[in-house]
């Protein structure tokens, strides 16, 4: 959208939401990237009968009228709100949008901070952060897993296993289908992993909110620790052990020696998670999901490479990600042999 249209619409929208006499929107700027959505940063001052209210905020919208992205902005708003209400460290959701822009949108508070995983794992200025953030991540993850389907009908459209299907079966089928359709070459390590996965599929019926991409790199942090959990695009209903395992996937350690995101000890993380109200940690299920998580990332590297090779995108990033498939194959072999950290 044009900046002038966004500015004009934000002023009118915030006027309605705050019952202010006047609203001033400043420092409006669109973030680069994000083909599935538009993201704008802005500052707003609302003059109300009780005084001035200032909002440092983010405006997010679907990019094309009539074409809802996945998840759509309305669903993303309700996800963040459910997490906020459950006590997860997330940006405060301010308002769900209306139809004034012709696309779905919402507004949340802007959280300053760092997001690059390698800086958290290796940056000297974040040495104290590394001491406190694993426990903070465990607490927020436990709070995510308190969100249940029956209490949140507004999240009914999130992906979920069909009746009679376990969460593990649903995820495995989804990614195995993607692999069979996209892989141009054979990958024996993947075939061994699929064989093991099908033989060790956990049959767990209970389903909770799963972030789906809970890892270093999808956090906002500062020197004092965690400031926000972000990037909810892969959220679904499933097995809570999936999130614990994804954080331990080798690629999300950014060269760190500790298994949990490169910065945390497994057993300490499990204790903090359970003490914060999380589920009893089933280490065998976590092992299943960690092995599957490495396989899943390997499949994603192939699908992203094919997006580049097919000519649908000329992104150098996609091409470079495609060169990382071998890393996941090596880690899968270590996991299958029981030699991985």
| Number of neighbours of residue 131 by Cβ within 10 angstroms | 11
Q: What percent of the chain has pLDDT over 70?
A: 96
pLDDT grade, residue 252 (50/70/90)?
very high
102-141 pLDDT tens trace: 888 999 999 999 999 999 999 999 999 999 999 999 999 9
Q: Which residues contact 163 (CB under 8 A, 6 or more apart)?
A: none
Q: Where are the alpha helices (DSSP H) in the chain?
A: 3-18, 73-85, 117-122, 127-144, 167-182, 188-199, 241-247, 266-275, 283-309, 316-321, 325-337
User: In this model, does residue 6 exceed pLDDT 50?
Assistant: yes
User: In this model, does residue 67 exceed pLDDT 50?
Assistant: no
**According to the model, what pLDDT value does residue 71 have?**
57
Give the chain's domains with CATH numbers.
3-109 (3.30.200.20), 117-337 (3.90.1200.10)
Q: Average pLDDT, whole number, for the chain? A: 92
Instruction: Determine contact, residues 120/133, Cβ cutoff 8 Å.
Output: yes
Residue whose tokens read 């692999």: 179
The model's pTM: 0.91
C-alpha to C-alpha distance for 54 and 39, rounded to whole angstroms: 19
φ/ψ of 318, rounded to 5, equals: -65, -40
Q: Which residues contact 73 (CB under 8 A, 6 or more apart)?
A: 37, 60, 61, 62, 97, 103, 104, 105, 106
């Amino acid at each position: 959208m044009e900046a002038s249209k966004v500015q004009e619409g934000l002023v009118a929208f915030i006027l309605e939401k705050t019952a202010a006499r006047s609203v001033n929107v400043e420092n409006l700027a669109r973030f680069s990237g994000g083909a599935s959505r538009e993201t704008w940063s802005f500052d707003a001052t609302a003059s109300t009968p009780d005084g001035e209210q200032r909002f440092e905020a983010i405006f997010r919208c679907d990019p094309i009228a009539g074409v809802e992205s996945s998840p759509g902005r309305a669903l993303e708003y309700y996800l963040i709100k459910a997490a906020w209400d459950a006590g997860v460290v997330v940006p405060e959701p301010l308002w769900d949008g209306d139809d004034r822009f012709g696309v779905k949108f919402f507004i949340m508070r802007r959280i300053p901070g760092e997001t690059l995983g390698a800086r958290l794992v290796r940056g000297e200025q974040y040495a104290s952060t590394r001491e406190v953030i694993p426990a903070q991540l465990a607490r927020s993850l436990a709070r995510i897993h308190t969100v249940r389907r029956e209490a949140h009908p507004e999240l009914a459209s999130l992906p979920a296993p069909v009746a009679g299907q376990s969460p593990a079966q649903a995820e495995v089928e989804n990614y195995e289908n993607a692999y069979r359709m996209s892989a141009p070459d054979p990958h024996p390590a993947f075939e061994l992993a699929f064989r093991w996965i099908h033989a060790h599929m956990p049959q767990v019926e209970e389903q909770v909110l799963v972030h789906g991409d809970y890892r270093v790199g999808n956090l906002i942090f500062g020197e004092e620790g965690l400031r926000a959990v972000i990037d909810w695009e892969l959220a679904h209903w499933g097995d809570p052990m999936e999130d614990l395992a994804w954080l331990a996937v080798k690629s999300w350690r950014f060269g760190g020696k500790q298994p949990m995101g490169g910065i945390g000890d497994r057993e300490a993380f499990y204790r903090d998670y359970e003490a914060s109200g999380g589920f009893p940690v089933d280490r065998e299920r976590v092992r299943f999901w960690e092995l599957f998580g490495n396989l899943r990332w390997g499949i994603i590297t192939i699908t992203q490479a094919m997006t580049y090779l097919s000519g649908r995108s000329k992104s150098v990033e996609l091409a470079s990600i495609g060169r990382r498939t071998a890393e996941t194959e090596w880690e899968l072999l270590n996991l299958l042999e029981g030699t991985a950290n």
